[in-house]
Amino acid sequence: MLKYSLGLDISANSIQCCISVIDEQQKVTVKSSRKISNNTKGFEELTTWISKHCKEKDVPLSVNMEATGIYYENCALYLYQKGFNVSVILPNKAKKYLQAIGQKSKNDSIDAQGLSRMGAEQSLDLWQPMGEYYYLLRKLTRQYQSLQELKTNVSNQLHAETNGMYESQDVTEQLTTLISTLVTQIKAMEKLIKEHIESDESVSQKVSNISKIKGVGLQTVAVVLAETNGFLLFKNSRQLVSYAGYDIVQNQSGSHNGRTRISKKGNSRLRKAMHMPSLSLIQHKVKPFFNLYERTLKKHYIKMKSYVAVQKKLLVLIYSLWSNNTPFNENHGLEISGYQEPELSLGSSAVAEAE
Protein backbone atom coordinates (compact mmCIF):
# COMPACT_ATOMS: atom_id res chain seq x y z
CA MET A 1 0.00 0.00 0.00
CA LEU A 2 1.21 3.48 -0.91
CA LYS A 3 -1.44 5.68 0.65
CA TYR A 4 -4.79 5.69 2.42
CA SER A 5 -7.31 8.21 1.18
CA LEU A 6 -10.50 9.33 2.92
CA GLY A 7 -13.20 11.05 0.87
CA LEU A 8 -15.87 13.08 2.68
CA ASP A 9 -19.03 14.31 0.96
CA ILE A 10 -20.37 16.89 3.40
CA SER A 11 -23.88 18.32 3.70
CA ALA A 12 -25.50 20.46 6.38
CA ASN A 13 -26.50 17.54 8.62
CA SER A 14 -24.51 14.49 7.52
CA ILE A 15 -21.19 13.33 6.03
CA GLN A 16 -20.78 10.38 3.66
CA CYS A 17 -17.36 8.79 4.18
CA CYS A 18 -15.25 6.45 2.04
CA ILE A 19 -11.77 5.07 2.74
CA SER A 20 -9.70 3.79 -0.17
CA VAL A 21 -6.14 2.56 -0.58
CA ILE A 22 -3.79 2.73 -3.57
CA ASP A 23 -1.10 0.09 -4.16
CA GLU A 24 2.14 -0.06 -6.13
CA GLN A 25 0.26 -0.95 -9.32
CA GLN A 26 -1.73 2.31 -8.96
CA LYS A 27 -4.89 0.31 -8.28
CA VAL A 28 -7.39 2.04 -5.97
CA THR A 29 -9.48 -0.24 -3.75
CA VAL A 30 -12.37 0.83 -1.51
CA LYS A 31 -11.89 -0.48 2.03
CA SER A 32 -14.99 0.83 3.80
CA SER A 33 -17.84 3.35 3.63
CA ARG A 34 -20.21 4.81 6.20
CA LYS A 35 -22.33 7.84 7.08
CA ILE A 36 -21.93 10.08 10.13
CA SER A 37 -23.55 13.21 11.55
CA ASN A 38 -22.01 16.59 10.80
CA ASN A 39 -21.35 17.47 14.44
CA THR A 40 -18.74 16.89 17.13
CA LYS A 41 -20.12 13.46 18.04
CA GLY A 42 -19.94 12.42 14.40
CA PHE A 43 -16.35 13.70 14.11
CA GLU A 44 -15.34 11.58 17.12
CA GLU A 45 -16.95 8.53 15.50
CA LEU A 46 -15.05 9.35 12.30
CA THR A 47 -11.63 9.33 14.00
CA THR A 48 -12.41 5.98 15.65
CA TRP A 49 -13.52 4.56 12.30
CA ILE A 50 -10.35 5.85 10.62
CA SER A 51 -8.18 4.13 13.24
CA LYS A 52 -10.06 0.89 12.67
CA HIS A 53 -9.46 0.77 8.93
CA CYS A 54 -6.07 2.52 8.66
CA LYS A 55 -4.00 0.14 10.76
CA GLU A 56 -0.70 0.57 8.90
CA LYS A 57 0.62 3.64 10.71
CA ASP A 58 3.60 4.06 8.36
CA VAL A 59 1.24 4.45 5.36
CA PRO A 60 0.20 8.11 4.92
CA LEU A 61 -3.47 9.15 5.00
CA SER A 62 -4.99 12.06 3.11
CA VAL A 63 -8.42 13.46 3.96
CA ASN A 64 -10.27 15.05 1.06
CA MET A 65 -13.48 17.08 1.00
CA GLU A 66 -15.25 19.65 -1.16
CA ALA A 67 -15.61 23.31 -0.19
CA THR A 68 -19.38 23.10 0.26
CA GLY A 69 -20.33 26.53 1.58
CA ILE A 70 -19.48 26.69 5.28
CA TYR A 71 -20.63 23.17 6.16
CA TYR A 72 -17.18 21.63 5.69
CA GLU A 73 -15.39 24.08 8.00
CA ASN A 74 -16.07 22.47 11.39
CA CYS A 75 -15.09 19.00 10.17
CA ALA A 76 -11.96 20.31 8.43
CA LEU A 77 -10.88 22.25 11.51
CA TYR A 78 -11.51 19.27 13.82
CA LEU A 79 -9.44 16.90 11.67
CA TYR A 80 -6.71 19.51 11.16
CA GLN A 81 -6.38 19.98 14.92
CA LYS A 82 -6.16 16.19 15.30
CA GLY A 83 -3.11 16.19 13.02
CA PHE A 84 -4.65 14.83 9.81
CA ASN A 85 -3.53 16.01 6.35
CA VAL A 86 -6.66 17.75 5.08
CA SER A 87 -7.25 18.87 1.49
CA VAL A 88 -10.24 21.02 0.54
CA ILE A 89 -11.12 20.73 -3.15
CA LEU A 90 -13.09 23.20 -5.25
CA PRO A 91 -16.44 21.69 -6.31
CA ASN A 92 -15.84 22.32 -10.03
CA LYS A 93 -12.47 20.55 -9.84
CA ALA A 94 -14.05 17.50 -8.18
CA LYS A 95 -16.86 17.52 -10.73
CA LYS A 96 -14.43 17.59 -13.66
CA TYR A 97 -12.46 14.72 -12.11
CA LEU A 98 -15.56 12.52 -11.79
CA GLN A 99 -16.47 13.28 -15.40
CA ALA A 100 -12.93 12.43 -16.52
CA ILE A 101 -13.07 8.97 -14.94
CA GLY A 102 -16.40 8.29 -16.66
CA GLN A 103 -18.73 8.68 -13.68
CA LYS A 104 -22.23 9.56 -14.97
CA SER A 105 -24.39 9.12 -11.87
CA LYS A 106 -24.29 11.36 -8.81
CA ASN A 107 -25.18 10.78 -5.17
CA ASP A 108 -23.47 11.24 -1.80
CA SER A 109 -21.88 7.78 -1.82
CA ILE A 110 -20.51 8.16 -5.36
CA ASP A 111 -19.15 11.63 -4.60
CA ALA A 112 -17.39 10.40 -1.43
CA GLN A 113 -15.85 7.50 -3.34
CA GLY A 114 -14.75 9.86 -6.12
CA LEU A 115 -13.08 12.21 -3.63
CA SER A 116 -11.37 9.24 -2.01
CA ARG A 117 -10.02 8.04 -5.35
CA MET A 118 -8.97 11.55 -6.33
CA GLY A 119 -7.00 11.91 -3.09
CA ALA A 120 -5.34 8.53 -3.62
CA GLU A 121 -4.23 9.25 -7.19
CA GLN A 122 -3.20 12.89 -6.80
CA SER A 123 -0.99 14.94 -4.50
CA LEU A 124 -3.44 17.65 -3.43
CA ASP A 125 -2.57 20.90 -1.68
CA LEU A 126 -2.98 20.79 2.08
CA TRP A 127 -5.59 22.99 3.73
CA GLN A 128 -4.90 25.38 6.58
CA PRO A 129 -7.64 27.11 8.61
CA MET A 130 -8.05 30.85 8.31
CA GLY A 131 -6.96 32.78 11.38
CA GLU A 132 -9.74 34.06 13.63
CA TYR A 133 -8.83 37.72 12.99
CA TYR A 134 -9.20 37.49 9.21
CA TYR A 135 -12.13 35.08 9.44
CA LEU A 136 -14.11 37.64 11.46
CA LEU A 137 -12.95 40.41 9.13
CA ARG A 138 -14.29 38.41 6.18
CA LYS A 139 -17.66 38.08 7.89
CA LEU A 140 -17.80 41.86 8.36
CA THR A 141 -16.70 42.74 4.83
CA ARG A 142 -19.06 40.25 3.19
CA GLN A 143 -21.96 41.57 5.26
CA TYR A 144 -20.96 45.09 4.19
CA GLN A 145 -20.94 44.03 0.53
CA SER A 146 -24.33 42.32 0.91
CA LEU A 147 -25.85 45.45 2.44
CA GLN A 148 -24.44 47.59 -0.38
CA GLU A 149 -25.90 45.24 -3.01
CA LEU A 150 -29.26 45.15 -1.24
CA LYS A 151 -29.33 48.96 -1.03
CA THR A 152 -28.65 49.18 -4.78
CA ASN A 153 -31.47 46.75 -5.55
CA VAL A 154 -33.97 48.58 -3.33
CA SER A 155 -32.92 51.95 -4.78
CA ASN A 156 -33.58 50.58 -8.26
CA GLN A 157 -37.02 49.39 -7.12
CA LEU A 158 -37.78 52.84 -5.69
CA HIS A 159 -36.72 54.51 -8.93
CA ALA A 160 -38.98 52.20 -10.94
CA GLU A 161 -41.88 52.79 -8.54
CA THR A 162 -41.66 56.58 -8.64
CA ASN A 163 -41.31 56.70 -12.42
CA GLY A 164 -44.08 54.26 -13.33
CA MET A 165 -47.45 55.12 -14.80
CA TYR A 166 -49.15 54.87 -11.40
CA GLU A 167 -47.36 55.16 -8.06
CA SER A 168 -48.29 53.39 -4.83
CA GLN A 169 -47.52 55.65 -1.87
CA ASP A 170 -47.47 52.65 0.48
CA VAL A 171 -44.82 50.87 -1.57
CA THR A 172 -42.80 54.09 -1.94
CA GLU A 173 -42.85 54.69 1.81
CA GLN A 174 -41.76 51.12 2.55
CA LEU A 175 -38.88 51.28 0.08
CA THR A 176 -37.78 54.68 1.40
CA THR A 177 -37.82 53.41 4.98
CA LEU A 178 -35.90 50.29 3.96
CA ILE A 179 -33.22 52.35 2.22
CA SER A 180 -32.86 54.54 5.32
CA THR A 181 -32.44 51.42 7.47
CA LEU A 182 -29.84 49.97 5.09
CA VAL A 183 -27.86 53.23 5.09
CA THR A 184 -27.77 53.14 8.90
CA GLN A 185 -26.61 49.51 8.89
CA ILE A 186 -23.95 50.21 6.26
CA LYS A 187 -22.51 53.06 8.35
CA ALA A 188 -22.52 50.82 11.43
CA MET A 189 -20.73 48.08 9.47
CA GLU A 190 -18.12 50.56 8.23
CA LYS A 191 -17.44 51.52 11.84
CA LEU A 192 -17.12 47.86 12.90
CA ILE A 193 -14.66 47.13 10.09
CA LYS A 194 -12.58 50.18 11.02
CA GLU A 195 -12.52 49.15 14.68
CA HIS A 196 -11.56 45.59 13.76
CA ILE A 197 -8.66 46.80 11.59
CA GLU A 198 -7.45 49.16 14.32
CA SER A 199 -7.57 46.38 16.94
CA ASP A 200 -4.30 45.04 15.51
CA GLU A 201 -1.59 47.71 15.45
CA SER A 202 0.55 45.94 12.83
CA VAL A 203 -2.37 45.46 10.44
CA SER A 204 -3.54 49.03 11.01
CA GLN A 205 -0.10 50.40 10.07
CA LYS A 206 0.08 48.37 6.86
CA VAL A 207 -3.48 49.36 5.91
CA SER A 208 -2.53 53.00 6.44
CA ASN A 209 0.43 52.58 4.07
CA ILE A 210 -1.78 51.05 1.37
CA SER A 211 -4.53 53.65 1.84
CA LYS A 212 -2.12 56.33 0.66
CA ILE A 213 -3.01 55.20 -2.88
CA LYS A 214 -5.55 57.76 -4.09
CA GLY A 215 -8.95 56.07 -4.50
CA VAL A 216 -8.10 53.05 -2.32
CA GLY A 217 -9.95 53.34 0.96
CA LEU A 218 -10.01 51.29 4.12
CA GLN A 219 -13.03 49.25 2.97
CA THR A 220 -11.25 48.17 -0.21
CA VAL A 221 -8.11 47.10 1.67
CA ALA A 222 -10.24 45.29 4.27
CA VAL A 223 -11.94 43.23 1.54
CA VAL A 224 -8.58 42.29 0.00
CA LEU A 225 -7.13 41.22 3.36
CA ALA A 226 -10.27 39.31 4.33
CA GLU A 227 -10.46 37.37 1.06
CA THR A 228 -6.75 36.51 1.03
CA ASN A 229 -6.31 35.73 4.75
CA GLY A 230 -3.81 38.56 4.99
CA PHE A 231 -1.83 37.11 2.04
CA LEU A 232 -0.69 34.34 4.39
CA LEU A 233 -0.54 31.51 1.86
CA PHE A 234 0.82 33.45 -1.13
CA LYS A 235 4.51 33.03 -1.92
CA ASN A 236 4.56 35.40 -4.90
CA SER A 237 2.38 37.77 -6.91
CA ARG A 238 1.66 35.18 -9.61
CA GLN A 239 -0.22 33.03 -7.10
CA LEU A 240 -2.27 36.05 -6.05
CA VAL A 241 -3.08 36.96 -9.66
CA SER A 242 -4.25 33.40 -10.30
CA TYR A 243 -6.30 33.32 -7.07
CA ALA A 244 -8.14 36.48 -8.14
CA GLY A 245 -8.82 35.16 -11.65
CA TYR A 246 -6.63 37.70 -13.43
CA ASP A 247 -4.31 35.02 -14.83
CA ILE A 248 -4.04 34.64 -18.60
CA VAL A 249 -5.71 31.77 -20.49
CA GLN A 250 -4.38 31.06 -23.96
CA ASN A 251 -6.30 29.35 -26.76
CA GLN A 252 -3.84 28.14 -29.38
CA SER A 253 -3.39 24.82 -31.14
CA GLY A 254 -1.52 24.28 -34.39
CA SER A 255 -2.58 26.98 -36.83
CA HIS A 256 -5.52 28.02 -34.64
CA ASN A 257 -4.97 31.19 -32.62
CA GLY A 258 -7.97 31.92 -30.42
CA ARG A 259 -8.55 34.88 -28.16
CA THR A 260 -6.36 35.24 -25.09
CA ARG A 261 -8.32 36.31 -22.00
CA ILE A 262 -8.27 36.38 -18.22
CA SER A 263 -9.47 33.14 -16.64
CA LYS A 264 -11.99 34.61 -14.14
CA LYS A 265 -11.49 31.30 -12.30
CA GLY A 266 -10.87 32.84 -8.94
CA ASN A 267 -12.22 35.04 -6.18
CA SER A 268 -14.75 37.37 -7.83
CA ARG A 269 -14.99 39.51 -4.68
CA LEU A 270 -11.38 40.57 -5.18
CA ARG A 271 -12.01 41.58 -8.78
CA LYS A 272 -15.13 43.46 -7.75
CA ALA A 273 -13.21 45.29 -5.00
CA MET A 274 -10.63 46.45 -7.56
CA HIS A 275 -13.17 47.90 -10.01
CA MET A 276 -14.05 51.29 -8.49
CA PRO A 277 -10.49 52.08 -7.26
CA SER A 278 -9.14 51.46 -10.77
CA LEU A 279 -11.56 54.06 -12.17
CA SER A 280 -10.49 56.54 -9.50
CA LEU A 281 -6.79 55.95 -10.22
CA ILE A 282 -7.26 56.80 -13.88
CA GLN A 283 -9.46 59.78 -13.09
CA HIS A 284 -6.73 61.23 -10.84
CA LYS A 285 -3.94 60.17 -13.24
CA VAL A 286 -2.01 58.29 -10.55
CA LYS A 287 1.33 56.86 -11.68
CA PRO A 288 2.19 54.15 -12.64
CA PHE A 289 -1.42 53.11 -13.28
CA PHE A 290 -2.27 55.96 -15.64
CA ASN A 291 0.84 55.19 -17.68
CA LEU A 292 -0.24 51.55 -18.00
CA TYR A 293 -3.77 52.60 -18.94
CA GLU A 294 -2.61 54.94 -21.73
CA ARG A 295 -0.03 52.49 -23.06
CA THR A 296 -2.49 49.60 -23.33
CA LEU A 297 -5.32 51.77 -24.64
CA LYS A 298 -3.19 52.87 -27.59
CA LYS A 299 -2.80 49.22 -28.58
CA HIS A 300 -6.46 48.15 -28.66
CA TYR A 301 -8.66 51.22 -27.90
CA ILE A 302 -10.83 49.22 -25.47
CA LYS A 303 -11.20 51.14 -22.20
CA MET A 304 -12.49 48.30 -20.07
CA LYS A 305 -9.64 46.06 -21.18
CA SER A 306 -7.16 48.67 -19.95
CA TYR A 307 -9.10 49.11 -16.71
CA VAL A 308 -8.76 45.38 -16.02
CA ALA A 309 -4.98 45.65 -16.53
CA VAL A 310 -5.00 48.49 -13.97
CA GLN A 311 -7.06 46.38 -11.54
CA LYS A 312 -4.55 43.56 -11.70
CA LYS A 313 -1.62 45.90 -11.23
CA LEU A 314 -3.34 47.53 -8.26
CA LEU A 315 -3.91 44.17 -6.56
CA VAL A 316 -0.24 43.23 -7.03
CA LEU A 317 0.86 46.60 -5.67
CA ILE A 318 -1.29 46.15 -2.55
CA TYR A 319 0.38 42.78 -2.03
CA SER A 320 3.85 44.33 -2.48
CA LEU A 321 3.19 47.20 -0.04
CA TRP A 322 1.76 44.76 2.50
CA SER A 323 4.70 42.35 2.21
CA ASN A 324 7.34 45.08 2.43
CA ASN A 325 5.42 47.23 4.95
CA THR A 326 6.13 50.39 2.98
CA PRO A 327 3.86 53.35 2.14
CA PHE A 328 2.81 54.03 -1.43
CA ASN A 329 4.84 56.51 -3.45
CA GLU A 330 3.74 56.92 -7.05
CA ASN A 331 7.19 58.16 -8.06
CA HIS A 332 8.93 54.85 -7.36
CA GLY A 333 6.69 52.98 -9.80
CA LEU A 334 5.85 49.31 -9.45
CA GLU A 335 8.86 47.05 -9.38
CA ILE A 336 8.09 43.57 -8.12
CA SER A 337 10.58 40.74 -8.35
CA GLY A 338 9.52 37.93 -10.65
CA TYR A 339 6.43 39.71 -11.98
CA GLN A 340 5.91 40.95 -15.53
CA GLU A 341 2.77 42.52 -16.90
CA PRO A 342 1.46 40.12 -19.59
CA GLU A 343 -0.75 41.12 -22.46
CA LEU A 344 -4.38 40.20 -22.01
CA SER A 345 -7.43 40.22 -24.23
CA LEU A 346 -11.01 40.26 -23.05
CA GLY A 347 -14.05 38.86 -24.79
CA SER A 348 -17.45 40.54 -24.59
CA SER A 349 -18.47 38.46 -21.58
CA ALA A 350 -15.40 39.56 -19.61
CA VAL A 351 -16.03 43.19 -20.48
CA ALA A 352 -19.63 42.86 -19.37
CA GLU A 353 -18.58 41.40 -16.02
CA ALA A 354 -16.01 44.13 -15.46
CA GLU A 355 -18.63 46.77 -16.12
Domain-ending residue, one of 75, 90, 121: 121
Exposed/middle/buried for residue 100 (C-beta within 10 Å: 0-12, 13-18, 19+): exposed
Q: Are residues 182 and 270 in the same domain?
A: no
Which of 199, 225, 251 is where one domain is finished? 199
The answer on 219 and 246 residing in a single domain is yes
The string of pLDDT tens digits covering residues 29-51 is: 999 999 999 999 999 999 999 99
Residue 332: what pLDDT?
56
Cis peptide before 288 (omega within 30 of 0): yes
135 and 117 assigned to the same domain: no
Asked if residue 68 and residue 25 are part of one domain, the reply reads: yes
Question: What does pTM read for this prediction?
Answer: 0.82
Residue 221 lies in a domain: yes
In a domain, 155, yes or no: yes
**Burial level of 22, CB count in 10 A (0-12/13-18/19+)?**
buried
Within-domain flag for 299: yes
Can you give the pLDDT of all 355 residues of the chain as single tens digits? 899 999 999 999 999 999 999 999 999 999 999 999 999 999 999 999 999 999 898 999 999 999 888 899 999 999 999 999 999 998 888 999 999 999 888 899 999 999 999 999 999 999 999 999 999 999 999 999 999 999 999 999 999 999 999 999 999 999 999 999 999 999 999 999 999 999 999 999 999 999 999 889 999 999 999 999 999 878 899 999 999 999 887 777 777 777 778 888 889 999 999 999 999 999 999 988 999 999 999 988 889 989 999 999 999 999 999 999 999 987 755 444 434 444 444 443 333 333 3
Residue 310: the pLDDT is 94
Q: Which of 199, 222, 255 is the last residue of a domain?
A: 199
Q: Is residue 309 part of a domain?
A: yes
**Based on C-alpha coordinates, what's the Rg of the chain?**
24
Q: What is the pLDDT of residue 207?
A: 96
Is residue 238 situated within a structural domain? yes
pLDDT at 263: 86
Residues 205 and 347 in one domain: yes
Angle between helices 132-162 and 268-283 in degrees, nearest 10 = 70
Could you tell me if 104 and 170 lie in one domain? Answer: no
Separation between Cα atoms, residue 87 and residue 80, nearest integer Å: 10
Helices 132-162 and 218-228 meet at what angle, rounded to 10?
A: 130
349 and 223 part of one domain: yes
CA 248 vs CA 112, 264, 292, 310: distances in Å: 33, 9, 17, 15
126 within a domain of the structure (yes/no): no
Q: Same domain, yes or no, for 329 and 207?
A: yes
Q: Are strands 261-262 and 248-249 parallel, antiparallel or unpaired?
A: antiparallel
| Same domain as 218, residue 311 | yes
| Helices 237-244/268-283 angle, 10° precision | 100
112: helix, strand or coil: helix
Same domain, 245 and 135: no
Q: Are both 317 and 211 inside the same structural domain?
A: yes
Number of independent structural domains in the chain: 3
**Domain of residue 36, residue span:** 3-121
**Residues 139, 153: one domain?**
yes
